Structure 1
Amino acid sequence: MEDMMKQMVKGVKSKYSFEETIKKMKEKVEGLGWKVIGEYDFKDKLGIGFAVLEVCNKDFAAKAVGKPENRWISAMMPCRFSVIEMPDGIYVFGMNMGLFSQMVSGELGELLKEVAKIDEEIMSAVL
């Protein structure tokens, strides 16, 4: 079960410092026409570099919840990325939306495939 859960999360090692990783991700998000709508920094509370960025695009969000039968997806919104310090460097983790999109049919599944591509682009900002 644990292996299956790990597949639902994608991670990449950043080539930047903790602060620079967050900066690069924010720049990429904005460059793609998305917005950082929430940022949570846990560094002071936990003693390690750990932050969460919540990102969204109003057009994608409106399409995702436009039909009442698809509104369950709101539990997965907004997209979240964690930036966390590990013993060997800084990592970015996010939901594997590509894998998740394979479990969703119809227009919503197609929309999630588009979101998966954007998530990949956001994470690539730190490679």
Structure 2
Amino acid sequence: MMDKMFFESKSRYAFDETVERLNNIIAEAGWRVTHTHDLKETMNKNGYEVLPVKVIELCNPKYAYRMLSADELRIYGNMMPCRISVHEKADGKTYVSRMNSALFASQIGGVVEEVMSGAYHDAESFVAQIAE
């Protein structure tokens, strides 16, 4: 099952352009980028060298509201917001990885499955626009 839980796609673009294009695609779709974590920078500050990695946190308020407005669903708040990771590998290529939240949510069902499946399919459409 773990081989279906995470996906990685090769980007058609260099690292910085991939991040920029994803940010634009996300905004054009009505989603919000809530934060971008620069993990290379964080690691450098702690004395470690790694290849570029940025984790984009994105949120669709309509999806988020459906989960956060119900007390019994707030337990799943730790799965929010959605995340897309952009990273460079030793081959010099840029890759985009993400979690299969639809598969995870299928184990829960109900509103959680509806919301997380919708978010997953939206995120996949964002990645498809930059993937080889």
On whether the aligned pair clears a TM of 0.5, the verdict is: yes
One-letter code aligned to 1:110: E
Pairing of 1:11-90 with structure 2 (within 5 A) = 11-44=8-41, 45=44, 46-88=49-91, 89-90=93-94
Which residue of 87, 103, 109 maps to 1:99? 103
Structure 2: how far apart are the matches of 1:60 and 1:73?
13
Q: How far is the alpha carbon of 1:102 from its aligned partner?
A: 1.4
Structure 1 residue ranges, 4+ long, deviating more than 3 angstroms after superposition: none
Structure 1: how far apart are the matches of 2:120 and 2:56?
16
The CA RMSD measured in Å over matched residues stands at 1.4
Report SS of the residue matched to 1:33.
Answer: coil
Q: How far is the alpha carbon of 1:85 from its aligned partner?
A: 0.6
State whether residues 102 and 113 of structure 2, in contact with CA within 8 Å, keep that contact through their aligned partners in structure 1: no
Q: How far is the alpha carbon of 1:99 from its aligned partner?
A: 1.2
Structure 1: how far apart are the matches of 2:100 and 2:123?
9
Q: Which runs of 5+ in 1 are unaligned?
A: none
Q: How high is the sequence identity, in percent, across the aligned residues? A: 31
